[in-house]
Structure 1
Amino acid sequence: MSDAFVRQGELTDIQSYPAWAQDMVESCTEVRTRVAAHPLFHKMRDGELDASQLSTFLVGVWPVIEQFPQYMAQSLLKVQYGRSRGHDEARRYLIRNIRVEQNHADHWLQWALASGVSRDDLLHGEVPPETHALSHWCWHTCERDSLAAGMAATNYAIEGVTGDWSALVCASDVYENGFATDVRAKAMKWLKLHAKYDDTHPWEALEIICAVLGSNPTQRGVALIRSRVVTSYEYMRLTLDHCLEAEQVVSRPMPLVELVYEERKRA
């Protein structure tokens, strides 16, 4: 009997996948929920993030947005045409979606500009180490791990939970209505794409992962996939925790020594 996996049911029905994949997804539910329902996204939905928290989020997550096509390119390097159905599907998926992810970077830039973050700050600003760790992790796993593991960490885990939290933010029109009408559509495009139209991408990635590993992979193989999924969620949570803790910059009284210096310059 062949261990090859061929999906029979609906793409977005977890029951269509092998038992090991169902168990893996179930075991990751709690940590995924900590990201999808993070307090930062509740505050964003309700229009309660201050400028420092929002800018830290937009600048801090930008490296992942900008580099996502490159993560996929690293995975593409591992594909061997004709090796298996899983590899052939991965080749088509990755090539097709690399351009899509590039467009998403353009949409993120528009979101940042509408939020008061300059292009220069987004592209060249200092990224906190606490948020930069996520992009380093994504690069590492896509470069060093197996094809299935790298795709599990990025195309399944990160894209999947991003769809969850984007839908949460878009569940109310409060955040959207906070933008001026002339920039509102561009500002919300990234969020709305991920909340509504991108929801099949993670499922397609899961199908490819199952096709590569088969219906009865080794325990070590399954453990590797689960580890990469959970690690991505945890790095995302650490990023969000840091962004939520960012303090609003407030004006402070000028120290006495500076006041004296200013008075002497005017005298």
Structure 2
Amino acid sequence: MYEQFQRSGPLMDLNSYPAWAQDMVLATAPAKSKVVAHELFARMREASLPAQATYNFLVGGWPVIEQFPQYMAVNLCKIQYGRSAGENMARRYLMRNIRVEQNHADHWVEWAKACGISMRDLFDSQAPVESQALNHWCWHSCERASLATSMAVTNLAIEGATGEWANLICSSDAYENSFAPELRRPATRWLRLHAQYDDTHPWEALEIICLLIGRRAEPKYVDILVQGLSNSYQYMALSLDRSMAPSG
């Protein structure tokens, strides 16, 4: 039986959410940590990431960046206004953030250009399957899964991990200062926005997911959510590993 959830504590405090949501986040923390603590981001923070790995990362990540607004548009189509508080909040969240994510695609292009990577490289390069896997997984989830599950896979998992690794890179000036002075601002705008602005997005997504599911959740459904989140983190890590692999 559905039991409505109403958050009473701070948005960015895990204790403000139902026990099943806390268990879900804690169960997937090790998989998330493998993304956030990946060698690629540690070396980028130190401005010691090889140029080929930077190229692989920016080109391989482009499909997800470019199509992220489209994932959210697919989820938006699942919503009927006024059907529930969760759907109303999801509708506002998705409509607002579709435009935000389009701007982020522009900033990714500027980051790539500052690294000597053209738009033709982004659009025409054939990314390896390891880099394509996350994009395929997001499309599959948004097209086939429930609103709560697909938002967990994308807005909670991907945006959550991304905010943390962007914050890690921005915690030092080394990477920003590795660019020529006139390139520093456009080269790091995407990173700075995700480190300083997007930190609330995954928490907002978590609140929506809890509103949609309720204070209590069937254990089998929690297992599905845990697996979905874990898959997103594992596909992210797979792409990062491939970006660091030697060419040839």
Q: Deviations over 1:73-123 (max 9, x none)?
A: 111111121111101110010001000000000000000000011111012
**Is the contact made by 2:80 and 2:87 (CA closer than 8 Å) also made in structure 1?**
yes
Consecutive unaligned residues in structure 2, runs of 5 or more = none
Amino acid in the other structure paired with 1:88:
N
Structure 1 equivalent of residue 39 of structure 2: 39
Q: Distance in 2 between matches of 1:2 and 1:75?
A: 22
What is the distance in 2 between the residues matched to 1:33 and 1:133?
19
Q: Any idea what SS the aligned residue of 1:152 has?
A: helix
Contact 2:2 2:213 in 1 (8 A): no
Runs of at least 4 residues of structure 1 off by over 2 A?
A: none
Q: Equivalent residue for 1:151?
A: 151
The CA deviation at 1:45 is 0.7
For these two proteins, the number of residue pairs brought into alignment is 248
1:219-250 Cα distance to aligned partner (Å, 9 max, x none): 12211111111100000000000001133x8x
Q: Tell me the CA shift for residue 2 of structure 1.
A: 6.6
Contact persistence 1:56–1:246 (CA under 8 A): no
Equivalent pair of 2:153/2:229 in contact (CA under 8 Å)? yes
| Separation of aligned partners in 1, 2:30 and 2:172 | 24
Distance of aligned partners of 1:38 and 1:89 in 2 relative to their CA distance in 1, 3 Å threshold: same
* Cα root mean square deviation, aligned: 1.2
Q: Structure 1 stretch 151-160 or stretch 121-130: which is displaced more? A: 121-130
Alignment match, 1:27: 27
Alignment of 1:1-267 (within 5 A): 3-247=3-247
Q: Aligned partners of 2:239 and 2:12: how far apart in 1?
A: 28
TM-score, with normalisation over the residues of structure 1? Answer: 0.91
The answer to whether the Cα contact below 8 Å between 2:2 and 2:216 also exists between their aligned partners in 1 is no
* 1:48 match: secondary structure: coil
Deviations 1:97-155 (A, max 9, x none): 00000000000000000001111101222111110111011111011100000000000
Which 10-residue stretch deviates more, 171-180 or 217-226? 217-226
Give the TM-score of the pair, scaled to structure 2: 0.98
